[in-house]
Amino acid sequence: MLITLSVLWGSSFLAIKTVIDVIPPLLAFGIRFAIAGAALLIVHAFIKRHHHEKNEQIGKQHWKDILILAALIIVGGQGLLAWGAQYLSSGMTALLNSTIPLWVAIIAVLAYRQHLTKITILGLVAGFAGLMILINPFVGNVHLNLIGVVSLTLSSIFWAIGSLYSTRIHLQVSILASAGMLLLVGGLMLVAASLAVGEFKSLQLPRISIGSLAAYSYLILLCTAVGYA
């Protein structure tokens, strides 16, 4: 499972770059997450009906937790990633996004007073250094765009906060239901944000090619629906 997730999310940055070159970033990600979330909820409903499972009770607290998680992880984490990725290469985007574990560790220490062991610190440093060697993002990126760097850094921070928040809530529903709710709500939030900033005005349908549609389908179905589930 971990290998599958690494391959899917590791390869997603190239697909993201391909998609946002032809579709405005917030709109592209909003549609991406809304479709993936709806697909997971449909699969969940089918499985529940097929196995005659009992109805899950989704109360106000569940929706409150989902709204907070969607705002942090999908809007803050993924929305800012999409916005910043249009200013940076896929390699630099991947590198900045890979700082999430560092931010998780920093926030855990500052907010929750958690103690980091020497092994944890060594692992974080070695992992980040290894990514820099593998990606080598500075080739062809002598002048980094400040908007892109700030957006990706804030994206990682929001994702880290959302990750830590998710460990302190208890969504008593299935993985498919909770992931589907998170993606659908977050996707609709991003579409609303896209409308607010007027992205639809810059959408040019003739620029969308078969290649970009293939990348978008891969991003929605595999990287998002399968990855998040």
Helix (H, G, I), strand (E, B), or coil: what is residue 129?
A: helix
Q: Is 208 helix (H, G, I), strand (E, B) or coil?
A: coil
Could you read off the pLDDT of 88-113 as tens digits, one per residue? 887 788 888 888 888 888 888 888 77
- Tell me what pLDDT residue 140 has: 58
Q: Are 105 and 163 in contact (CB under 8 A)?
A: no
pLDDT band at 47 (very low <50, low <70, confident <90, very high): confident
pLDDT digits (tens, 9 = 90+) for 193-228: 999 998 888 777 767 788 889 999 999 998 899 888
Q: How far is CA 41 from CA 48, 72, 74, 181, 184, in A?
A: 10, 21, 17, 7, 9
Mean pLDDT, the chain, rounded, equals 85
Q: Answer yes or no: pTM beyond 0.85.
A: no
Phi, psi of 114 (to 5 degrees): -80, 145
Question: Residue 1 above 80 pLDDT?
Answer: no
Q: How confident is the model at residue 8 (pLDDT cuts 50, 70, 90)?
A: confident
